[in-house]
Amino acid sequence: MEEKVVMAIDGGATKTAITLQLTNGKTLFNKISTGSNIHAIGIKHVERVITDLLMEAYQAIPNTHIEVAAFAMAGIDTSHDMSIIKGIIENCLNNVPFEINTIIVENDVHSTLLGLTDGKPGALVLSGTGSIAYAFDGKDLMVRTGGWGHLAADEGSGYWVGQQILRAIIRAEDGRTNKPTYLKTLLFEKLQVTNIEQLLAWVYHPEFTNAQMASISSILSDAIERGDETAIHIAKSAAKELSILAITVLEKIQYTGEVFTLYMNGGILRNHIVIKDLFQQYVSTKYPNISFELCQDAPIQYILKRALSEVNKVNK
C-alpha cells in the first residue's frame, strides 16, 4: 500500500509547530515558529505565522499530496472563533499550492485528547499559557471546561500564576501585606531589572504578550523550595483551580468511577511538581479511582495521531 502524507499544525499561544509525516511514521518536515492564538496576536499575525510555515514546508517538499491536514489551534473557544480560524486557514492555503484531501480544524486540546485516547474514554487538563479541560466518553460526547482566555478566566494557567506573582510583589511593595516574599528578588533576577519602575515598564510595554506574563511563573518552584509562604499559597490556589476544571469536565460526561485516565499537559503541570501533586490530590478526593498520566510527547505528536486516525477511518 502506498504511504500517505499527513500534516499536523499545533497553533499554541507560545509557539506554533508543523510536522509532515508519512503514515509509516517517517518525518518529512518539522518546523517551530511563534505563537498563533488569535486572541493574543490578532488575525493578521496568525495568518502570517501559518502561511510562512506552510510555505516553508512546501518549499522543502514541493508537489506533495496531503491526505489529512489537522489544524489544532488555541483560541477556538466559540463558533465565531471557529469561523475566523477557518477563514484564516483558507486564506493561508490559497497562498500555498498544497493539495489536501481532508482538512480538520479543531481546538488544540480537543485534537490532542483524541490523539491521546484513540477513541477510548479519557480527559485532558492543560495548563500552559492558558488553562482548559476536555473529556471524551469514548462514544460521541466531547465536552470542555475553561479555556476562555486570560481576560475572562484561565485560572491555574501560566498567565494566571504569573499575574498572581506580579500582584503579590506589588502588594508587598505597597506595604499592603506584612508577609515577606522572595518572589521579588527572583523576578528581578529573571528579568534583569533593579526596581519596580523597570518591572512595570516591562509589563506595560506596548508589545507585551500573554506568553511573557506566563514566563514569570517559572520562578514559583524556586520560591517554594525556599519555603516562601506566598509562593506556596499561589501553588495551592493554582492546583485548586485546575482541579475544579477537571472535576467539572468529568461531571459533564457523567463519570461514575470506572477505569479512566486523566491526562495532564502544559508547562505548569509538567514543570511545577507541587502544583501537579496537589492537583492530583484534590481530584482524587472526589474521584479516588482516577488514573493520572503526564503527557510525555510534544503536543504535535498527539495531533499527528489525530490526523492518522482520520486516515484509518477512510481506509476501513
pLDDT category of residue 283 using cuts at 50, 70 and 90: very high
pLDDT of residue 75: 87
Q: Indicate if the pLDDT at residue 245 is higher than 80.
A: yes
Task: Name the superfamily (CATH) of residues 5-118+298-315.
Answer: ATPase, nucleotide binding domain (3.30.420.40)
Confidence check: pLDDT of 45 > 90: yes
Q: Which pLDDT belongs to residue 40?
A: 82
What integer pLDDT is reported at residue 209 of this predicted model? 86
In this prediction, what percent of the chain has a pLDDT beyond 90? 81
Note whether 279 and 140 are within 8 A (CB).
no
Q: Give the start-to-end residue ranges of the domains of the chain.
A: 5-118+298-315
Q: Report, as an integer, the average pLDDT of 23-46.
A: 92
pTM: 0.88
Q: Greater confidence, 256 or 232?
A: 232
Q: Can you give the pLDDT at residue 140?
A: 87
Is 241 or 62 the better-scoring residue by pLDDT? 241
Give residue 314's pLDDT: 62
pLDDT for 8-33, tens place per residue?
Answer: 999 988 899 999 999 999 999 999 99
pLDDT of residue 315: 66
pLDDT at 46: 95
Question: Which positions ≥6 away from 102 have C-beta within 8 Å?
Answer: 67, 68, 69, 310, 314
Give pLDDT tens digits for 163-218: 999 999 999 999 999 888 999 999 999 999 999 999 999 999 998 988 899 999 99
Indicate if the pLDDT at residue 59 is higher than 60: yes
Q: Is residue 279 scored above 90 in pLDDT?
A: yes
Residue linked to cell 484509518: 312
Instruction: State yes or no: pLDDT of 1 exceeds 80.
Output: no
